[in-house]
Chain A
């Protein structure tokens, strides 16, 4: 059943309580999610986005219960990714002539995924608009790299709703639809996790884009993203958060992430945590065993931190594979303005610590020379390296 947001605008998406993983298996989902699609019924009937492929038939059947599909004058695809376009082929099979409004890059992504089907694409650019009824105009805003080259947002005047697609979204199922009806702790936890893991690599575009949207002076009363809640209560709050998060955000937190084979490197991790806590009691210190921690949650903790300490024993002349994978993920998210250091145990060759240092440098961290390296299990003597590392870590940069 459609859910009316305002006047002739309704939600016609899919509330996905069962989904546990997203982007293949690369993003964990803990509280369900939604794929939000919207139906606008003015002089023109407009569908904005669809849902993920597994739900395509449900989506088309539900839509048929609301309207005669032939009444749809145009479809807007804000983004070509399969979680929004997955039902498009099934829908187009029913109404093959319907114009599809999207960016030039979205034509490429849609044809790349579904083949060349002779669909009636109308390429739009920032500032292009269509009137769909009295006092109701849709204006398009390209959102390149937020988070794909084809992303865009659509603004509906009169109702003053910004359909922002993936920007400002969260993987969070809320049947009540609105931000003010959601659990605020979970909402922000999901919003920041989504931001870090999906939007953060493109921060440099975000600050510019937010300024550009602000300059358009749109009287935004509601932000309707493609996942999670619709921001109707003070929608500016999430825009302000994005502006804050995109600008080398950090809290007074230090994250220690390690893997261990026989607990030696774990002991160093805990010794470092205790020493930091003693030297700087107000600093939040968190320890994570990389192989046992959800990687998306770990990225969110690193994002919040001013420094990251990474530990691994040396095995087969290198760090453990879990640590290498974590560092590769960290690099792809493009964190900046954070300190880092490396530690670990070894039995003979001991390459892990220096390899972690170079991977951290490569990932954009300011890496300390100080390390804690332990020949076999840590002794009092090896732990003597801890204070120097902690001092360098906590030293304010001049």
Chain B
């Protein structure tokens, strides 16, 4: 599954790990994250993320 990186702080969302601290289960693709989900490090919104190639 595709990883996405936060532009402002560099955090990488890895779907395999999810974001358990924000209640996101492992295996959740980036596209399936709720609209109000934000970067667990810096708080940036979803639209600030770019696909990691």
User: Residues of A at under 8 Å CB distance from B?
Assistant: 104-105, 142, 144-145, 149, 202, 204-205
Contacts of B43 in A (CB 8 A): 142, 144-145, 205
**Please, how many angstroms separate the alpha-carbon atoms of A149 and B42 in the complex?**
6
Tell yes or no: B41 within 8 A of A by CB.
Answer: yes
Taking CB atoms, residues of chain B closer than 8 Å to A145 are 8-9, 42-43
Given contacts A144-B42, A205-B42, contact A149 B9 (CB under 8 A): yes
Closest CB in chain A relative to B25 CB, distance in Å = 20
- Name the B residues within 8 Å of A149 (CB-CB): 9, 41-42
Chain B residues with Cβ below 8 Å from A205 are: 8, 42-43
- Which 4 residue pairs of A and B lie closest in terms of their CB atoms, listed nearest first? A145-B42, A144-B43, A149-B41, A144-B42
13 new A-B contacts, CB < 8 A, other than A204-B8, A205-B43, are: A105-B41, A142-B43, A144-B41, A144-B42, A144-B43, A145-B8, A145-B42, A145-B43, A149-B9, A149-B41, A149-B42, A202-B8, A205-B42
Query: What are 18 A-to-B residue pairs whose CB atoms are below 8 Å?
Result: A104-B21, A105-B41, A142-B43, A144-B41, A144-B42, A144-B43, A145-B8, A145-B9, A145-B42, A145-B43, A149-B9, A149-B41, A149-B42, A202-B8, A204-B8, A205-B8, A205-B42, A205-B43
Closest to A203 in B: B8
Interface residues on B, range: under 10
Look across to chain B and name the residue whose beta carbon is closest to the beta carbon of A142: B43
Question: In the complex, what distance in Å separates the CA atom of A145 from the CA atom of B21?
Answer: 18
What separation, in Å, do the CA atoms of A105 and B11 have in the docked complex?
14
Within the assembled complex, what's the spacing in Å between the Cα atoms of A204 and B42? Answer: 11
- Mark each residue of chain B from 16 to 53: 1 if its CB lies under 8 Å from any CB of chain A, else 0: 00000100000000000000000001110000000000
Q: B21 contacts which chain A residues (CB < 8 A)? A: 104
Interface of B is mostly: loop
**With A and B bound together, what is the CA distance between A210 and B41 in angstroms?**
19
Determine the distance from Cα of A144 to Cα of B42 in the docked complex, in whole angstroms: 6
Query: B42 to chain A: which residues have CB within 8 Å?
Result: 144-145, 149, 205
- Measured CA separation A55–B41 after assembly (Å): 30
A104, A142, A205: which has the most chain B beta carbons within 10 Å? A205
Most buried by B among A104, A105, A149: A149
Closest to A204 in B: B8
Q: A321 → chain B, closest Cβ, in Å?
A: 25
Q: Which residues of B contact A142 (CB under 8 A)?
A: 43
- How far in angstroms is the closest Cβ of chain B from A362? 14
Tell me the bound Cα distance from A202 to B9 in angstroms. 9
Docked complex Cα distance between A204 and B21 (Å): 24
Determine the distance from Cα of A205 to Cα of B8 in the docked complex, in whole angstroms. Answer: 9
Set of chain B residues within 8 Å of A104, measured between Cβ atoms: 21
A150, closest chain B residue (CB): B41
In the complex, what's the smallest C-beta–C-beta distance from B36 to chain A, in angstroms?
Answer: 16
Complex contacts, B9 vs chain A, CB 8 Å: 145, 149
**Distance, CA A144 to CA B11, complexed state (A):** 14
User: Once the chains are docked, how many angstroms separate the CA of A104 from the CA of B22?
Assistant: 12
B8 partner residues in chain A, CB cutoff 8 A: 145, 202, 204-205
Chain A contacts of B41 at CB under 8 A? 105, 144, 149
Q: Write the chain B residue with the least CB distance to A209.
A: B43
Q: Whole-angstrom distance between the alpha carbons of A70 and B8 in the complex? A: 42
